[in-house]
Amino acid sequence: MTPAAETPHPAEQSKLEIVSLANQEQYDANNNYEVRIFTDGSKLGGKVGAALSIWNSTSETKTQKLALPSYSTVYQAELLALCKATGEIIRHKAKSFGVYSDSMAALQTVKNSQCLHPLAVEARENLRTSYLQGKAVHLHWIKAHAGLEGNERADQLAKEAAENSKRKPDYELCPVSFVKRSIRRDTLDEWNKRYATGDTASGTKLFFPNAITAYRTVRKMEATNIKTQLMTGHGGFAEYLNRFKCKESP
């Protein structure tokens, strides 16, 4: 996360709005800009990519493909594409821009001034700079796979970026979810080794021979005293069986 001290003062932050477009008719009513930028992200077979498709009033003028590491999420790819789009706006000579993304989550992250994700902070700073340059920028959510030409083109480019790019990633920070998943996996592996080689928990091992499988099951169960006694053997079973001469010691 970007330190709060490095973000603009609240008085200097622009209020961003997102216009939702669900079909061609709504898009046609919101595309009268000198430049339109469509963004998208994709994850295919563990490979992640993002892309921009930049259009003037009639046709595509520029494309950009972006590569991300395999541990990245589609959300990060969508956010990176939005960030790069705002960077293109700063360098462009036009005065009106429409930015289109089918990821509401990424758009809301950019809009939320309290979110300190580094890509969102950079995107907001780019937008602030563009406003100071006298440029009008409008953010739009568009429905995915609704047949909109620019969106379909960005989707195609993002998939190509995911499948074919072999260059250095344009963004390498890993998501918190990946770190948590890695720690959980390593912890479960160590737990399973100790569980398998330990001399205790013989009763529990009758139900759960493998600790990793047990974790997936038990975490979804509501723990009760009866269930715990059954699965651990720590209950009044020995005394009960002894009473009926089925066990030598209570």
What is the pTM (predicted TM-score) of this model? 0.74
Closest among 92, 104, 94 to 39, alpha carbons compared: 104
pLDDT in tens, 212-230: 888 888 889 898 988 888 8
* Residue ending a domain, choose from 174, 206, 224: 174
Residue 240 has pLDDT above 90, yes or no: no
Closest by CA to 77, choosing from 176, 175, 178, is 175
Continuous H helices in the chain:
24-28, 74-91, 104-111, 118-132, 149-164, 176-197, 202-207, 211-218, 225-232, 237-243
**Structural domain for 211, as ranges:** 178-243
Q: Are 163 and 117 in contact (CB under 8 A)?
A: no
The band of 10, judged by pLDDT with boundaries at 50, 70 and 90, is: low
Opening angle at CA 166, ends 185 and 164, nearest 5: 95
What is the tens place of the pLDDT at every residue in 112-153?
A: 988 889 999 999 999 999 999 999 999 999 998 888 889 999
Residue 7 domain flag? no
Domains of the chain: total: 2
Residues 170 and 208 in one domain: no
Same domain, 163 and 186: no
Cα separation, 51 vs 129, whole angstroms: 22
Query: Which of 150, 174, 198 is the last residue before a domain boundary?
Result: 174
